[in-house]
Homo-oligomer: A and B are copies of this chain.
Amino acid sequence: MSRPPLPSATIIDVAAKAGVSKSTAARALARYGSVSAKTREAVQKAADELGYQPNALARSMITGRTKTIGVVIPDVGNHFFAVAMRGISTAAREAGYEVLLSSTEGDLALERRAVELLAGKRVDGIVVAPVSTEETGHLERLEGQGIAVTLLDRPASRVKAASFISVNHVEASTLAVNHLIDLGHREIGIVSEALMPEGWEPDAPQESRNLRPSAARLVGYVNALRGAGLRFRDEYVARSAYAKAAAYEATRRLLTDNPQLTAVYCTDSELSAGAFAALQDLKISCPKDMSLIGFDDQDWATLVRPRLTVVDQPSYQLGMAATEELLSTIAADEDRRGDRMLSGRLIVRDSTARPRSAGGR
């Protein structure tokens, strides 16, 4: 049983068996042009008997469309992207598209190669969560090749014609921090993957569209503080790499160095896990001595004690929206940006409460 030389039936075989020309057979099967009912049936019967399956490659050669979209994300294993991927997959399937997936491990070189391969396979469009917001030459080039691009979760301002679908991270952060402020907290720390963007001015909020999620969340924190007349303190920002262990260490340091803190806001699910563990190990009572807000409503938020207050982001909808946007760009056949920002949602549970000294200062 050798593999390649298995010649599956072609439309010519079907046509021959049905006793018609291949043009007619093609029309009968693809339902275009006009074919008599009798012929259609005969062709259909022949196709069924031969187990005919049209060769999508040949079809795409002619039509110029592959009915396939590419997806380029840093890590399918990550909960956020996995769920977003489910949204992408569902939206694509419902529109009759298939998905070529590349997981790039956050490596720019791999991302470049992935995009190139996808372009070689002539996908109709690409949903991408780019590694870098600046080095996007490989994405810009796609536009010249007639491949639609939609940016998921991470901006890339140089890719002019690409739509940008994201959660409004600034707003989501503001939700979280305002909740703490409303409870009476004044000394609020933050565990963040980002540092304040250079040259950031609080009065230029529209710029936030060009921020990556981590930076946007930090900006939302600052905005909320200012909105309440509180001062932003550099030392309240615990910078952490994107890893549970790093967040654990960063949080320990933050709390040890700043005993006056009464609340901490974590800007990502991974960071939330690390921070939560740090609180446990430091034996700091939550929410009595410290309020904690996490990001992303994962399974465990209701299993731990105290149950975790979080800002949830609609990952699934994000994937759906990005795909719908991409497909509509492909269908509309024009380069028009249709950016969309989805809203996060605050879910209050037991890890946030009034600070011990509320009203005492």
| Chain A interface residues toward B at CB < 8 A | 1-4, 6, 8, 51, 53-58, 60-61, 64-66, 68, 75-79, 82-83, 85-86, 89-90, 93, 98-103, 105, 110, 114, 116-122, 141, 144-146, 148, 161, 244, 273, 276-277, 280, 298-300, 302-305, 316, 330, 333-335
Tell me the minimal C-beta distance from A80 to chain B in angstroms: 10
A90 to B58, CA, bound (A): 29
Contacting residues, chain B, for A305 (C-beta < 8 A) = 280, 304-305
Given contacts A77-B85, A86-B103, contact A56 B304 (CB under 8 A): no
Contacting residues, chain B, for A83 (C-beta < 8 A) = 77
Given contacts A99-B102, A122-B57, A303-B277, contact A77 B68 (CB under 8 A): no
Tell me the minimal C-beta distance from A4 to chain B in angstroms: 5
- Is there contact, CB below 8 Å, between A299 and B316? no
- Is there contact, CB below 8 Å, between B56 and A58? no
Tell me the minimal C-beta distance from A11 to chain B in angstroms: 13
Contacting residues, chain B, for A110 (C-beta < 8 A) = 93
Cβ-closest chain B residue relative to A1: B335
Tell me the minimal C-beta distance from A93 to chain B in angstroms: 7
Interface of A is mostly: mixed
Copies of this chain: 2
28 contacts between A and B (CB under 8 A): A2-B334, A3-B148, A3-B333, A3-B335, A4-B65, A4-B146, A6-B145, A53-B120, A53-B145, A56-B117, A56-B121, A57-B60, A58-B61, A68-B100, A76-B89, A77-B85, A79-B82, A93-B102, A98-B118, A273-B300, A298-B299, A299-B300, A300-B300, A300-B303, A303-B303, A304-B304, A304-B305, A305-B305
Contacting residues, chain B, for A8 (C-beta < 8 A) = 145-146
Cβ-closest chain B residue relative to A55: B122
